[in-house]
Homo-oligomer: A and B are copies of this chain.
Amino acid sequence: MHEELTRKGEQTQSRIMEAAYVLFMSQGYHGTSMRQIAQRAGLTLGGVYAHFASKEEIWKAVLFERHPYHTILPVLRATEGKTVETLLRNAARRLVGELEKRSDLLHLMFIEIVEFNGMHLPALYEQIAPELTPLFDVIQAGEGRLRAIPPLLLVRSFLGFFFSYYITEAMMPPSLRSLMGEDALEVFIDIYLHGVMA
């Protein structure tokens, strides 16, 4: 019934990670210096190295603790719905609700891909692989027919559908974005469920 005492070192460690996260997000990995991280965490440079052996160790800690799947997976797992369609629709909407609070989550993956060539991804997937499988059951638990799509490919397409929404939004300058109307997401969901063909 009583919580573990969080030691001071742990607090400092997460303060460093939080500072690093903010800086990495806005400047990228190589664009962020250890001095910036130290300053934002309220430490000196040497103090940071008392908690992390290297800059890359900080990145790995941030990547593993804050990667989008920690947000995406629970949402998907908790989604309810009677038919497959409403299930997918609800999952999509709930995901957007979560991701809108943390709209920069995909950025983590971008940085990993751009600046590390995805070299940490295999280890990442090894960690979340056990959580990926139950998703198949959730998606196919609802009533209604789904296309005959390999399960893993279905999950991939679902995630891809999300990425496509956010990435095209990130890529479009505001001038163009306003021309698209308000409910672009609902259109994207419809397209994912039923395609562009009438």
Contacts and interface: CB of A to CB of B under 8 A. Distances in A.
Interface of A: 26-31, 84-85, 88, 107, 109-111, 113-115, 117-118, 121-122, 125, 129, 144-147, 149-150, 152-154, 156-161, 163-165, 167-168, 170-176, 179-181, 184, 187-188, 190-198
Q: At the interface, is chain A mostly helix, strand, loop or mixed?
A: helix
Copies in the complex: 2
Contact of A125 (B85, B173, B197): B173
A153 B189 CA distance: 12
Given A113-B170, A167-B160, A171-B113, A192 B196 contact: yes
A197 B31 contact: no
A109 B197 CA distance: 29
Given A121-B173, A157-B191, A193-B196, 17 more contacts: A110-B113, A125-B173, A144-B197, A145-B197, A145-B198, A149-B196, A152-B176, A152-B179, A153-B181, A153-B184, A154-B196, A156-B172, A158-B196, A160-B164, A160-B165, A160-B168, A191-B195
